[in-house]
Structure 1
Amino acid sequence: MSDVPGSFTWRVLHERHPSLIARVREATPYDARRNRALDALLEEIEGIMAPPEDSAHDRDLWESWDRGHIGRRWDEVPFLWAESYFYRRLLSAVGYFEPGPWRGVDPFEPFKQAELEGEAVDEELRELDALADAPAGERDQALILRALWGNRADLVFRISAGPDLADREAGLVADDSALLWSLAGTGRVCLVADNAGSELLPDLVLIDHLLHARGTGQVILHVKPLPYYVSDATVTDVLACLRRMAAAGGEAGRVAGRLRAAIGSDRLVLRAHAFSCAPLPYREMPVGMRDDFASASLTIMKGDLNYRRLVGDRAWPHTTPFAETTAYFPGPVAALRTLKSEVAVGLTGGTVEALERTGRPWLTTGTHALIQARA
């Protein structure tokens, strides 16, 4: 929940979201109508949650996802629900769904593009040249860690994170990477993406490694059907990353070429399911998505939001077994995630005690990460 003033979840709704509205307004010169709609949303999130517009194309869908929350205060409904609905309402405010000049214009594209064109991405892609000739086991570990720590690239997190984030000590609080690799066989692997840009790039390199080096028969990449949570990946973002890698040349260019060929032969399949934007845990996933995951030898969930949806966005004791919270999932599953919210399970009592003894925050700063898996 997010009804305790000063709590992490309360600050997201009352500080991070208003800040994001201001950033969106600064990044794109919206017309007067769109600016009025953003003003109205800014005022609304301090009060009562309004329903989708009567003419909204997805009104029925959101009403089916409602659990009696619409009509209540924003900070009195489950945090996962309120946070997801905020991004749906933000898209509506900027005219993303309406006929007219703003239809389909991603309000987060300026942030994504600037991040993808940064010098840090150039360096990351150049490093692939040296990694290409590394021993197989070394490449496995390097690529899984790159995909894991790429989750720091979350743009909405950067907006509110302190400038010293990159300098803080970071470390794994759980590491099931050996089990993850043992489950990623020669059949089908599903990867549920999180952020675009410099997080999606190592995800795509990991997918290429599975297909090209590890002999995985097919990878299904789940992305968002709409711009969401600022930097969540869409099909458009996948294509932008492929172009970025191709332009870099070297091993990055070769990876891009192999991935384009894999898409053309259906060895890499893109999915953009409506439920990917649902304000609900994966426990409530529809049949089509469940069938996808059930058919895979392994499903890899990337990022904080997918983790919260996977284990349930609840105040679990941190020692609650990961296998227990994911027992409903229809197949083997793994999570790659840097910690940016208060939800964490599957940790040992000793690990939790050691982290708490430091006196420093570790759940919400992105300075710690985990690799968890269950067969």
Structure 2
Amino acid sequence: MTVKDMVGNDAPFGESTCIGAKEENSDVIKRQLSHQRPDVAGIISELQRAAPTVSADTHHMENKALIAQVAALRSEMLQDAPLTNERLSLTSLIPEDGHPNVSVYNDELRGLGSPTWLNTVWMWSECYMYRCVLFTPLRSSIHADYPPDQRRLVALFRNTRHWGDFDPFHTQKVMALRSSRMAVMEHVTHFDQLTRGVAHSDFDAQRQGFSAVCKRSLWGNATDLSLLPNISHGEIQQLQKAGGNKDRDGFILVNHLSAAFDRLALAKRLNKPHRRVVIVLDNAGFELLVDILLGAFLIECGLATTVEFHPKDCPWFVSDVIVADVHDLLEELANPDHLFSNVDPRRAQDCATSPQKMALSRLSPRLANMFNDGSLVIRTDPFWTTGGSYWTMNRVAPHLFANLAEADLVIFKGDMNYRKLTGDAMWPTATPFPEAIGPLAKHGLCALALRTCKSDVVVGLAPGQEDVLQQNVLAQGSSSGRSWAWDGKYALAQLSLGRKGGSLDVNVRWT
């Protein structure tokens, strides 16, 4: 299947192939299975854990029913079952439930032929699992009495009386944040030091500060619970330290951060009254912290007057941010005793220092003030939980596209956002990033992708760069010369200015 097949006339730049099960790449299939199976098994475990906490009979009945339905779903995935049910007409289509992206999914599903769990477009099937089968946001009180054969084909949690707002990944996200407490304190302290007098600092100092916070946001993306289900606590800590380690700069394969700064600095230099940056979020917990610190830095130094954070509107890919996660993080920062619960005070390495505690005590009210005065804003849109490429945004969600196109910069965090920006297609790695994001660049959206490489799609490399990477990983004992694209050790910071922005050769100096 080509990008054009998937997104129709929104694909003006060629016929690159969407990644799917027909790819003759066993590594792709193995990773797909390794991502989805633990996710579904984890949902069952969390439902079982939550069962003793409820008392009403209907709670228990629905809990048991949900466990059975999710287990049946997992069985179907393992058996590569069809996404359709020939015994019932149109059972693969999602019943209308009041949410605007239902019709988007149904239109896409009609165009996929006769898909099975492992024989369809990967990106779409992953999103189908989370959005269409497991979760539907909003109005948790709605209950639809669908026949048993259709139970798996509707949003399971939505169609209960008591479990519609249940986030089966909440415990994982909270524990991941608390296990990151020392990295949290290190980054909070760095932010506290970096932003002292930053509003009045010179051009070069602000450029360096912008690069520093962006790199911390970039490497914060390395710890993704959906892609690293078996990662150890020690490995997480090492990944989180990477953001402040200059030795990691050589692992950033493409670095357009200086050009992105020039874009924002130009708007400030011209005294543009409203300078807006949008950050399309990825993971909760530690990564959300460094993303919020990036937004706060932009406000503090005047590179933006407003920063919008765009989370998902329902639980998504295990660790993706939903609105509740933002509130949870701010609550943890305001009450650091939560972060350091169950810590042995005799283990100094696990305890915050006095300077770290002071930095945190200053950060929490600063962030609260920014959210209260509207400098930092949270906005959701149902488009972020659709299954297709962002190439369709101008057609499917024109209101959202118009909002993003008017922003001075839109920062897309993480692997799934990158895959959707590029149509999840197997572009040649030397394909220019603006070409790979198609109509987004064509229609003037200024996009910066911050992403550690954890899937096959990579664009924007220099000619010959892929060959060097392949030789390096093979020399290091990797079984695949392509492993550099998905092992999370490399990263990309890629900018497309769009037609409105011209080339990347922007050069701004203060007067």
TM-score, L = length of structure 2: 0.68
Judge which range, 292-301 or 59-68, deviates more: 59-68
Q: Distance in 1 between matches of 2:361 and 2:438?
A: 40
Residue 316 of structure 1: how far off its partner (Å): 0.5
Alignment of 1:214-233 (within 5 A): 214-233=302-321
Match of 1:136 in 2: 206
Instruction: Name which of 413, 417, 424 aligns with 1:302.
Output: 413
Judge which range, 340-349 or 184-193, deviates more: 184-193
Contact 1:315 1:343 in 2 (8 A): yes
Match of 2:219 in 1: 149
Match of 1:198 in 2: 286
Match of 1:258 in 2: 366
Match of 1:374 in 2: 496
| Greater C-alpha radius of gyration | 2
Instruction: Name which of 18, 32, 40 aligns with 1:21.
Output: 40
- Tell me the alpha carbon deviations over residues 142-165 of structure 1, each in whole angstroms, 9 at most, x when there is no partner: 211100000012111120558868
Describe the SS at the equivalent of 2:493.
strand
Q: Distance in 1 between matches of 2:335 and 2:488?
A: 30
Q: Distance in 2 between matches of 1:12 and 1:18?
A: 10
Match of 1:125 in 2: 188
- Residues 74, 86 of structure 1: alpha-carbon distance in 2 compared, 3 angstrom cutoff: same
- Residues 128, 28 of structure 1: alpha-carbon distance in 2 compared, 3 angstrom cutoff: farther
Contact 2:429 2:466 in 1 (8 A): yes
Residue 62 of structure 1: how far off its partner (Å): 2.5
Q: Distance in 2 between matches of 1:301 and 1:201?
A: 15
Judge which range, 5-14 or 358-367, deviates more: 5-14
Instruction: Name which of 434, 441, 464 aligns with 1:323.
Output: 434
1:282 aligns with 2:390: yes
Judge which range, 364-373 or 2-11, deviates more: 2-11
Residue 38 of structure 1: how far off its partner (Å): 1.1
Match of 2:351 in 1: none
Residue 326 of structure 1: how far off its partner (Å): 2.6
- Tell me the alpha carbon deviations over residues 34-61 of structure 1, each in whole angstroms, 9 at most, x when there is no partner: 1110111112222111425546444444
Please list every run of 5 or more consecutive structure 2 residues that lacks an aligned counterpart in the other structure. Answer: 1-19, 52-62, 85-91, 137-151, 199-204, 269-274, 337-356, 498-511
TM-score, L = length of structure 1: 0.91
1:47 aligns with 2:66: no
Letter in 1 for 2:447: V
1:99 aligns with 2:160: yes
Judge which range, 236-245 or 132-141, deviates more: 132-141
Match of 1:87 in 2: 130
Q: Distance in 1 between matches of 2:333 and 2:96?
A: 41
Contact 1:147 1:203 in 2 (8 A): yes
Match of 2:277 in 1: 189
Residue 24 of structure 1: how far off its partner (Å): 2.2
- Tell me the alpha carbon deviations over residues 48-81 of structure 1, each in whole angstroms, 9 at most, x when there is no partner: 1142554644444431343523742122221110
Match of 2:450 in 1: 336
Residue 234 of structure 1: how far off its partner (Å): 1.1
Judge which range, 254-263 or 53-62, deviates more: 53-62
Residue 246 of structure 1: how far off its partner (Å): 2.6
Alignment of 1:231-242 (within 5 A): 231-242=319-330
Contact 1:205 1:255 in 2 (8 A): no
Contact 2:312 2:384 in 1 (8 A): yes
Contact 1:299 1:334 in 2 (8 A): yes
1:176 aligns with 2:256: yes
Q: Distance in 2 between matches of 1:9 and 1:53?
A: 28
Match of 2:7 in 1: none
Residue 364 of structure 1: how far off its partner (Å): 0.7
Describe the SS at the equivalent of 1:299.
strand
Match of 1:34 in 2: 66
Q: Distance in 2 between matches of 1:130 and 1:317?
A: 42
Residue 218 of structure 1: how far off its partner (Å): 1.3
- Residues 129, 259 of structure 1: alpha-carbon distance in 2 compared, 3 angstrom cutoff: closer
Contact 1:247 1:253 in 2 (8 A): no
Contact 2:195 2:297 in 1 (8 A): no
- Superposition CA RMSD, Å: 2.6
Letter in 1 for 2:427: W
1:76 aligns with 2:164: no
Q: Distance in 1 between matches of 2:418 and 2:173?
A: 22
- Tell me the alpha carbon deviations over residues 149-204 of structure 1, each in whole angstroms, 9 at most, x when there is no partner: 00012111120558868589951111111011112244111111111110010000
Aligned-pair identity (%): 27
Q: Distance in 2 between matches of 1:164 and 1:188?
A: 36
Describe the SS at the equivalent of 1:158.
coil
Instruction: Name which of 285, 293, 303 aligns with 2:404.
Output: 293
Q: Distance in 2 between matches of 1:28 and 1:126?
A: 37
Q: Distance in 1 between matches of 2:391 and 2:309?
A: 19
Residue 232 of structure 1: how far off its partner (Å): 0.7
- Residues 267, 123 of structure 1: alpha-carbon distance in 2 compared, 3 angstrom cutoff: closer
Judge which range, 263-272 or 5-14, deviates more: 5-14
Judge which range, 244-253 or 99-108, deviates more: 244-253
Describe the SS at the equivalent of 2:174.
helix
Q: Distance in 2 between matches of 1:310 and 1:253?
A: 38
Residue 14 of structure 1: how far off its partner (Å): 2.8
Letter in 1 for 2:462: T
Contact 2:66 2:157 in 1 (8 A): no
Please list every run of 5 or more consecutive structure 1 residues that lacks an aligned counterpart in the other structure. Answer: none
Alignment of 1:53-68 (within 5 A): 54=95, 56-58=97-99, 59-68=102-111
Describe the SS at the equivalent of 1:157.
coil
Instruction: Name which of 157, 172, 177 aligns with 1:111.
Output: 172
1:158 aligns with 2:272: no
- Residues 76, 293 of structure 1: alpha-carbon distance in 2 compared, 3 angstrom cutoff: same
Residue 262 of structure 1: how far off its partner (Å): 2.6
Q: Distance in 2 between matches of 1:269 and 1:299?
A: 14
Q: Distance in 1 between matches of 2:392 and 2:129?
A: 20
